[in-house]
Amino acid sequence: MTQDHKQQAEAEWWSTAIIEMEPGVIRYRGYPIEELIGRASFAQMIWLLLRGELPSRDQAALLDIALMAAVDHGPQAPSIAIARMAATCGVGLNNAMASAVNVLGDVHGGAGEQALEFYFGIAEAINGGAEIEAAAASALDAFFADGGRFLPGFGHRFHPVDPRAPRLLAMVDDYAKKGAVSGHYATIARAVESALARCKGKTVPMNIDGATAVIYAELGFPPPLARGLFCLSRSVGILAHAWEEMQSGLRNKGPLPRERLWNYLGPPQRPVIGLEEG
Amino acid sequence: MTQDHKQQAEAEWWSTAIIEMEPGVIRYRGYPIEELIGRASFAQMIWLLLRGELPSRDQAALLDIALMAAVDHGPQAPSIAIARMAATCGVGLNNAMASAVNVLGDVHGGAGEQALEFYFGIAEAINGGAEIEAAAASALDAFFADGGRFLPGFGHRFHPVDPRAPRLLAMVDDYAKKGAVSGHYATIARAVESALARCKGKTVPMNIDGATAVIYAELGFPPPLARGLFCLSRSVGILAHAWEEMQSGLRNKGPLPRERLWNYLGPPQRPVIGLEEG
Amino acid sequence: MTQDHKQQAEAEWWSTAIIEMEPGVIRYRGYPIEELIGRASFAQMIWLLLRGELPSRDQAALLDIALMAAVDHGPQAPSIAIARMAATCGVGLNNAMASAVNVLGDVHGGAGEQALEFYFGIAEAINGGAEIEAAAASALDAFFADGGRFLPGFGHRFHPVDPRAPRLLAMVDDYAKKGAVSGHYATIARAVESALARCKGKTVPMNIDGATAVIYAELGFPPPLARGLFCLSRSVGILAHAWEEMQSGLRNKGPLPRERLWNYLGPPQRPVIGLEEG
Amino acid sequence: MTQDHKQQAEAEWWSTAIIEMEPGVIRYRGYPIEELIGRASFAQMIWLLLRGELPSRDQAALLDIALMAAVDHGPQAPSIAIARMAATCGVGLNNAMASAVNVLGDVHGGAGEQALEFYFGIAEAINGGAEIEAAAASALDAFFADGGRFLPGFGHRFHPVDPRAPRLLAMVDDYAKKGAVSGHYATIARAVESALARCKGKTVPMNIDGATAVIYAELGFPPPLARGLFCLSRSVGILAHAWEEMQSGLRNKGPLPRERLWNYLGPPQRPVIGLEEG
């Protein structure tokens, strides 16, 4: 590698199509920031940075709805509890947010991503000629045959019906009527809900993750961004709880008040034998 | 403590005024989620969770502007570089976001918070009877006398003029004309800019942090939330860069291409002496 | 659920076999802390907490070797670069460590875990009657047939021969000679190395992850703990680099000096059209 | 800046005195890794990376003791609870460790650092000619006059006497008798304990942080490394608890079992008014 090629390689090591800068100039995806400010909303900027183009007003409105609907589910969620405990440990709000967002993993924050993949699989089968009910039923069969237990996006361990899901789906219907989105994934998700009810012998209604996944699918987001966008959304609740707790003045808040200890399950007291001192 | 009091104490250990839940019911600050969906925007939800009440449409619009303006400043910023490198290490997007948001500390993410405190100090002096120019000059003197070097919210190591700041201030002026905000903090920030220019003998223009701090001050946010809101905003750029890098297929991306090593400054090679084996 | 059962369920929600406490009393796995201090080494405590029993002196010594050998591989590794950049952002050493440890994911920190699983698979085949060379060759075939590209624990993108691996394997041989471990996994790993060389037509020597995985296998650690122990080990280098950088006084250190920008690959400058103001 | 200077600046941007590499070569502080393996213990490597030179055997043994004594204090500590909850969210052990280590901030992990600073201040006064009792009393007075409430390193909210502290101090005495350390900081810490008892009218005994700070002071570590080393030590308990919980199979473990909700303190149910749909 010549010196020139080496410099070239280094110059290209840090590359991006998101942002361009010169002294006094900032452009996102080609748009000067000073033209965006006052014209593009926060939701439009999120879309622009993630997708490369500005969304229509309706697309941005639907994205905004998915983001506003998932902000918080209370301190029983590990992410929120972590944010609150972190806020009492002498770290900054940014650190409390980080410890909390960090746990939005496959189990806690991944259901939207997994639901999106599930819907996309059904859509592909439909594209290949399958009928929607058959495609949904067959995807479900495959899920359970593969050892799946909880279908991502359906059912809730606390809410018999998640109050967010029907309202979100109604919004999708409204935007589909306006022609802003196709409504195809709302139909698919409802077919999944029906097939699941037949399969389980009882209704297992769509939850927030299943419903926001419909929105993200309608808007054309790839599955991993369903998780990314959920992280943005839940960061709001995480911040709010961290801030509320920070004002409590508690120090080193644990999961239980300090009088309460955990349940010890290990061996009883025993002496250390066979290890010499020092 | 009786058994009853103990139970009471435990029940109260996890308390919040943000969210209330029952099976099938979610309310934020008293508002049922199904009534908020489709009516309250993402920015309004952010405000509601952080402040306890729904903002006016103009207040939410101004908050939205502060959030959309700070989403990204490119991979030279440690937070963005960290997000990109993390995305090549086999962790989830939530983890990449966490490692990055985590470094938005006093130096990288704290300028808005510090600028807000600075403005609030001047506002207090004005409330106490001082004239605005005198209050700004005196706050600056105190800052430098106290060993301060870089006034938070002013000057930029890369941009001679940060293109976001004048545009953001113009937006505040617009909203002040409409009566949505007072405009008081825009006046204070401009007085600080003038006093700083006199003090330094050259213009040290307001930057994004100084300008968003004006917005947060106009909207009545306490200083720590300026950092919290910046974290929300920058999380967008962090997510976008992590996602772009994740698609590159690189593995374990370091700061320099793999042919390049760092500069070693320590002692030359030397033998290990005086330590026996095993 | 009666009130009594509810209390019981809550009492058991936080359970552990690791530590027991009463006022003035701390016991790990049954051993009083005051008896352990001065008798059990750091490596022995690590073992005790993870495994439930105190290791022999030789077992602890071999664990100590695996831990000391993987502490650092320089700032080209994303984890170390992240620690250094974080340290310039105004966060604590604990935060810098967290952002860095967080990226020791499947790609950056998972090779030891994956190598351990690979060795265990071969050991199982041998237990089932296979000969060692055949078992190694067949496991390799399966790995490549399954789309695997880089066999975890073998080969290095920088070192033709990783200087840590042969020395670590020699230590395992020494401890096997003493009877402290069986040496079975050292034999398996060497069989893998031979099979891989035949398969690739050139030597692809064992690296640090392959060698520490031999140690962890000899000591009976389950695969996920190979990653956990690597995190402990690398935390040392992470801390050392964060601390060194913290003393540099740099602020917001990016991957490149501030004069250098990244390579922009997106669309050229374009006007924002179709979005109305405010 | 000429092209040459620019290249030079970039080459020096990533610099370190900790590690040197060439293909096939790794040296820490000048020592080849293959000479260290089998000779230097984990504690000696920690010292070498942080301090630049290999410690004596006794120095390393004392560091080892400080590290082994602080590994865990149970799931009532936020860091441990966070590790356990994170482990149920579908993230890796490295991520669970990161979320937990991240909260070892000023309040949760900073007491050792603060105690070390406090001891060093007294040592400086003694160097300046003050008598030890007077220096301790005067430092205490200054601490309380400055608004300090809990003297870092003394007192414990759970243990009347922290069983780790007297045993650790006894170890320091042993090593001081051998001449491995001076014992000066053990004397200072005991003088602080006496002055505090006089001041408060009751014994407020030294805790683990006060005792490990004595060890770190005797060994010459700067205060921030007391926090860094505590993070290394507590990472062991964090890993052990995350691992134990990961095996429980629980999903999204919150601070309370799922039947239990938090205590809601906000406004009662109210309708959303004044916000139009969509």
User: Could you tell me which chain D residue has the CA closest to the CA of A98?
Assistant: D99
Q: Which of D113, D124, D130, D143 is nearest to D213 (CA)?
A: D113
| pLDDT for the residue D192 | 98
Q: What is the DSSP string of B157-177?
A: SS-SS-THHHHHHHHHHHHHH
Q: Indicate if the pLDDT at residue D276 is higher than 90.
A: no
Residues 146 to 165 of C: which have CB under 8 A from any B CB?
157-158
Q: Which two tokens mark C215?
A: 């140690």
Our measurement of the distance from residue B152's CA atom to the centroid of its chain's CA atoms, rounded to an integer in Å, reads: 12
User: Could you tell me which chain B residue has the CA closest to the CA of A108?
Assistant: B94
Average pLDDT of span A20-42: 97
Model confidence over C175-203: pLDDT tens digits?
999 999 999 999 999 999 999 999 999 99
Q: B16 in helix, strand or coil? A: strand
Average pLDDT of span B60-64: 98
Backbone φ and ψ of C170, nearest 5°: -65, -35
Q: Which two tokens mark A163?
A: 């109050």
| pLDDT for the residue C258 | 77
| pLDDT for the residue B4 | 67
Instruction: List the beta bridge partners of residue D32.
Output: D27
- Test C257 with D13 for CB contact under 8 angstroms: yes
Instruction: List the beta bridge partners of residue A20.
Output: A27
A91 Cβ under 8 Å from any chain B Cβ: no
Average pLDDT of span D228-247: 98
Model confidence over C92-145: pLDDT tens digits?
999 999 999 999 999 999 999 999 999 999 999 999 999 999 999 999 999 999
Average pLDDT of span D104-118: 97
pLDDT tens digits, chain C, 278 residues: what are they?
Answer: 466 666 666 668 999 999 999 999 999 999 999 999 999 999 999 999 999 999 999 999 999 999 999 999 999 999 999 999 999 999 999 999 999 999 999 999 999 999 999 999 999 999 999 999 999 999 999 999 999 999 999 999 899 999 999 999 999 999 999 999 999 999 999 999 999 999 999 999 999 999 999 999 999 999 999 999 999 999 999 999 999 999 999 999 999 887 788 999 999 999 999 887 65
Which of A76, A103, A106 lies nearest to residue D261, judging by beta carbons? Answer: A76
Q: Helix H segments across A108-205? A: 111-127, 132-145, 164-177, 184-200
Q: Which two tokens mark A265?
A: 């399950």
Q: Which of D46, D39, D37 is nearest to C69 (CA)?
A: D37
Cβ atoms within 10 Å of C5's Cβ, excluding its own? 10
| pLDDT band at residue D64 using 50, 70 and 90 as cut-offs | very high
For residues A61 and A178, give the distance between their C-alpha atoms in angstroms, rounded to a whole number: 13
Q: Which of D250, D210, D71 is nearest to C31 (CA)?
A: D71
Which of D75, D78, D262 lies nearest to residue A75, judging by beta carbons? Answer: D262
Q: Considering only A256-270, D88-102, D157-171, D232-246, which range has the smallest mean pLDDT?
A: A256-270
- Test A81 with D278 for CB contact under 8 angstroms: no
Backbone φ and ψ of B26, nearest 5°: -135, 125
pTM of the model: 0.97
| pLDDT for the residue D136 | 98
Residues 173 to 202 of C: which have CB under 8 A from any A CB?
none
Q: Indicate if the pLDDT at residue B278 is higher than 60.
A: no
Disruptive mutation site among B36, B41, B85, B101 for chain A (greatest number of A CBs within 10 Å): B101
For residues C220 and C181, give the distance between their C-alpha atoms in angstroms, rounded to a whole number: 10
Q: What is the DSSP string of B132-152?
A: HHHHHHHHHHHHHHTT--S-T
- Chain C residues within 8 A of B81 when measuring between CB atoms: 85, 254-255
| pLDDT for the residue B260 | 82
Collect all residues with Cβ–Cβ distance below 8 Å to B122 and sequence separation of at least 6. Answer: B132, B135, B136, B139, B188, B191, B192
Model confidence over A64-83: pLDDT tens digits?
999 999 999 999 999 999 99
Model confidence over B177-208: pLDDT tens digits?
999 999 999 999 999 999 999 999 999 999 99
| pLDDT band at residue A276 using 50, 70 and 90 as cut-offs | confident
For residues B124 and B115, give the distance between their C-alpha atoms in angstroms, rounded to a whole number: 14
Gap from B22 CA to chain D (nearest CA, Å): 9
Which of A98, A161, A171 lies nearest to residue B102, judging by beta carbons? Answer: A98
Model confidence over B24-34: pLDDT tens digits?
999 999 999 99
Helix, strand, coil percentages (3-state) for chain B, rounded to 5, are: 55, 5, 40
- Test C16 with A278 for CB contact under 8 angstroms: no
Please give the C-alpha separations between residue C118 and each of C104, C185, C224, in angstroms, as whole numbers: 19, 11, 13
Backbone φ and ψ of B154, nearest 5°: -135, 140
| pLDDT band at residue A135 using 50, 70 and 90 as cut-offs | very high
Q: What is the mean pLDDT of chain D?
A: 95
Residues 35 to 64 of D: which have CB under 8 A from any B CB?
35-36, 38-40, 44, 52, 54
Q: Indicate if the pLDDT at residue D8 is higher than 90.
A: no
- Test B86 with C102 for CB contact under 8 angstroms: yes
- Test D35 with B95 for CB contact under 8 angstroms: no
D19 in Cβ contact with D32 (< 8 Å): no
Could you give the ipTM of this predicted complex?
0.96
Instruction: List the beta bridge partners of residue D22.
Output: D25
Q: What is the mean pLDDT of chain A?
A: 95
User: A278 or C29: which carries more pLDDT confidence?
Assistant: C29
At residue B182's C-alpha, the angle toward residues B176 and B186, to 5°, is 80
Q: Considering only A34-48, B259-273, D4-18, which range has the smallest mean pLDDT?
A: D4-18
For residues D121 and D124, give the distance between their C-alpha atoms in angstroms, rounded to a whole number: 5
Distance from first CA to last CA of chain A, Å, rounded?
55
Backbone φ and ψ of D102, nearest 5°: -60, -30
D269: DSSP letter: P
Which of C15, C95, C275 lies nearest to residue A262, judging by beta carbons? Answer: C15
D222 Cβ under 8 Å from any chain A Cβ: no
B210 in Cβ contact with B164 (< 8 Å): no
Q: Which two tokens mark A122?
A: 């059904």
- Chain D residues within 8 A of C10 when measuring between CB atoms: 256-257, 260
Which of D95, D263, D275 lies nearest to residue B11, judging by beta carbons? Answer: D263
C107 in Cβ contact with C221 (< 8 Å): no
Write down the residue that tokens 């009786």 correspond to.
B2
Instruction: List the beta bridge partners of residue B152.
Output: none
A89 Cβ under 8 Å from any chain D Cβ: yes
Average pLDDT of span B103-123: 97
Q: Which of A200, A169, A171, A164 is nearest to A187 (CA)?
A: A169
Disruptive mutation site among B1, B3, B7, B14 for chain A (greatest number of A CBs within 10 Å): B14
Considering only CA atoms, give the Rg of chain D: 24
| pLDDT for the residue B258 | 76
